[in-house]
Structure 1
Amino acid sequence: MGPSAPAPSHGRSAGVVTMAASGLSNQVGAAIGSLAFPVLGPAGVVAVRQYVAAVVLFAVGRPRVRDFTWAQWWPVLGLAVVFGTMNLSLYSAIDRIGLGLAVTLEFLGPLAIALTAARRRIDACCALIAAAGVVTLMRPQPSTDYPGMALGLLAACCWASYILLNRSVGRRVPGAQGSATAAALSALMFLPVGVVVVLRQPPTAGAVGCAIAAGVLSSAVPYLADLFTLRRVPAQAFGLFMSVNPLLAALVGRIGLGQHLGWAQWASIGAIVGANTLSIAVRRR
């Protein structure tokens, strides 16, 4: 079978199942990690998550850092900073506004990248739909947590930067060496955070276990699942399924953490998810 031949149907079915499991694993991991916030705080949970991600990615990528040139190093360093900032801002947002809303705001990052790269009227309509969802989500209310919303938007900016830097790293560094090196550097940046957390309040075994579970379920499993999926499912279908993550996050937050959302918040999530789904579906045709 040539390289351009479509994947067998059973391979695509396995890819779809893997995508579903990856998305669910990501959100469940974040939910479990939030259980450790009272002991470790968002920064402590993110530190442990970065350590787990570094171990997994370094084992998979096996980077030869001594061979890197400066042209390869600078995007890797940028990726390391963005990677850590993205997770820290997301988990801090989860702590303040809940899993569903935090992941929805973070999802605006890749949506913005996709829409700004397009030049069609339908993409302008999708941008307006997504903007309407954001306005509804952030409308002034006595209970509105604006710092939490700002942290979610910071996570969105970081995710957009993460995508652009990953493209640059992918062009300059072979295989997964760039991502593995960035994960390791990000983990090193969070070593002082881990030390401060331990000295301030000795963590319980349960809290550490929750943080490790977050690292495995939200970093290791999705990364390895994506490697498997992208070999069996078209990239557009992969992007289409990724748009369901805010909805999965809202459902996991409601079922697992008891975080209930109002009709306006559900409508905002639906608008943002629908905008991305419509944009990808039309592009596919």
Structure 2
Amino acid sequence: MTSRPSRALLGPVGLVLVGILSVQVGAAIAKGLFGEISPTAMVWLRLVTSAVVLAAIARPRLGGRSRHDWFVVLGFGASLATMNWAIYQSFSRIPLGLAVAIEFVGPLTLAVLGSHRARDLVWVLLAGSGVALLGLQRTDLDLLGVAYALLAGAAWAAYILLSASTGRRWAGFDGLAVASVLAALGMTLPALLTAGTSLWDGRVLLIGALVGLLSSVIPYSCELVALRSLRPAVFGILMSVEPAAAALAAIVVLDEHLSAVQWLAIACVVAASIGATRSAPAPVERSAAPGTLAT
């Protein structure tokens, strides 16, 4: 009798963890290809893959939409494209785990501001302290990479806000599918300008599609099923381990190791994210991805 609830819990928790690992392994594989193709072109391949799959599944209804409907979904697509482009630019310059940790400052700040409780600012301060620790090794860390990670975090916060507005106006996955198509279209010209002929190499196209599946399609599916039976607060806490998962994926796939100070910085961000999630008066939601879409 006691084993049935534990199995029921293990299912959704396991799905979320599989989604997290899938996202970060996909990001690590993408980074391993940066010597052959630009980060911008790799983002485009990922967005195209997810856009095609989502559009095929959702088959969004486009007729009868108001101008405001399109304005909202266009902003949603722009935040999606910016978030993915910026984080890929970031971890092309700094370790993957650090890029994801710094990116978390964006949604973490948004969650704390939404709590309206001054005491919850301690979580932003803890995360900021973790990022500040990286300054101890500033000579080893590309500041432009840090700036791109912060930009990705800001775009992620905008993505969360716009996803709520999009969800109110577009049913089901329609808004996300349309936004993904718009994001892919918006990244097409920059991708073509930076990729060169390597973009059309069969191996590069295959790996790009694989990254799209690992970083978008598989996590979407896992999270969609998991959230049917998993409390949003538990989901938020599980997602908080993503920076550590990114660092571990980078070790396994890229042999990219971090210093003790850098691991401490990641630990600060993870602890701050867990603390903000546990103390939030309303569930902290990661719309359709978050890290899913961010890395």
Matched, 1:71 2:71: no
Give the gaps of 5 or more residues in structure 1.
Answer: 1-6
Partners of 1:31 and 1:253 within 8 A in 2: yes
Identity of aligned residues (%): 36
Alignment of 1:112-127 (within 5 A): 112-120=109-117, 122-127=119-124
Aligned to 2:15: 18
Partners of 2:41 and 2:192 within 8 A in 1: no
Matched, 1:270 2:267: yes
Shift of 1:210: 2.0
Aligned to 1:92: 89
Aligned CA RMSD, in angstroms, stands at 2.0
Question: CA–CA distance in 2 between the matches of 1:277 and 1:74?
Answer: 34
Name which of 10, 21, 34 aligns with 1:37. 34
Aligned to 1:206: 203
Name which of 155, 158, 166 aligns with 2:155. 158
Alignment of 1:1-285 (within 5 A): 10-120=7-117, 122-139=119-136, 141-197=138-194, 199-201=196-198, 203-283=200-280
Question: CA–CA distance in 1 between the matches of 2:268 and 2:53?
Answer: 35
| Residue deviations 1:96-118 (CA, integer Å, cap 9, x gap) | 00211111111112111111111
Partners of 1:39 and 1:204 within 8 A in 2: no
Partners of 2:53 and 2:217 within 8 A in 1: yes
Shift of 1:119: 3.1
| Residue deviations 1:216-269 (CA, integer Å, cap 9, x gap) | 100111111111111010111111101000010011112221111111111111
Question: CA–CA distance in 1 between the matches of 2:202 and 2:27?
Answer: 18
1:198–1:120 Cα change, 3 Å: closer
Shift of 1:199: 4.5
Q: Which amino acid aligns with 2:173?
A: A
Question: CA–CA distance in 1 between the matches of 2:199 and 2:214?
Answer: 24
1:35–1:100 Cα change, 3 Å: same
1:198–1:156 Cα change, 3 Å: closer
1:284–1:202 Cα change, 3 Å: closer
Partners of 2:54 and 2:177 within 8 A in 1: yes
Partners of 2:111 and 2:280 within 8 A in 1: no
Partners of 2:79 and 2:155 within 8 A in 1: yes
| Residue deviations 1:189-218 (CA, integer Å, cap 9, x gap) | 222244435644454333222221111100
Give the gaps of 5 or more residues in structure 2.
Answer: 283-295
| Residue deviations 1:9-33 (CA, integer Å, cap 9, x gap) | 5443211110010000000000111
Question: CA–CA distance in 1 between the matches of 2:141 and 2:193?
Answer: 31
Question: Scaled by the length of structure 1, what TM-score is found?
Answer: 0.92
Q: Which amino acid aligns with 1:257?
A: L
Q: Which amino acid aligns with 1:115?
A: V
Shift of 1:40: 1.4
Question: Scaled by the length of structure 2, what TM-score is found?
Answer: 0.89
Question: CA–CA distance in 1 between the matches of 2:64 and 2:89?
Answer: 36
1:117–1:270 Cα change, 3 Å: same
